[in-house]
Amino acid sequence: MMIQSNFNCPFELTLELIGGKWKGLILWHLHDKEVLRNGEMLRLMPKITQKMLTQQLREMEENGLVKRVIYEQIPPKVEYSLTEHGKALRPILKMMIVWGLDYAQNKNITIACG
């Protein structure tokens, strides 16, 4: 899904690019680990389906946030990492973690981090 070209504000564009249940989490794991393969992402996010992971990765690749490298070997190997636009999200992702931890602590919410 290529991104539309008309938005009412920059915040709307940002949410379109990184919003939803899985995109932020995928971006966080790619930020944290730098390079991940498909199976590694499935282990890090056990509730995501293969179909949804593939869809989200394709969208973020089309929009220039994630890059995919295919290694021609047997068996084939595919690795994902952040592009420069994806890496520019790192401060935002870190701030979201800090905010989430603070909110959880204030509301007595348990977070099980892996």
| CB proximity list for 79: less than 8 A, separation 6 or greater | 35, 36, 37, 68, 69, 71
Model pLDDT for residues 8-28, shown as the tens digit of each residue: 899 999 998 999 999 999 999
Q: What is the pLDDT of residues 67-101, one digit of tens each?
A: 999 999 998 899 999 999 999 999 999 999 999 99
Q: Where are the alpha helices (DSSP H) in 1-114?
A: 10-18, 23-33, 38-44, 50-62, 84-87, 90-106
Q: Are 93 and 24 in contact (CB under 8 A)?
A: yes
- Architecture of the structural domain at 10-106: Orthogonal Bundle (1.10)
The DSSP 8-state label assigned to residue 3 in this structure reads P
Distance (Å, rounded) from C-alpha 4 to C-alpha 110?
38
- What confidence tier does 1 reach under pLDDT thresholds 50, 70, 90? low
Domain spans in the chain, listed from the N-terminal domain onward = 10-106
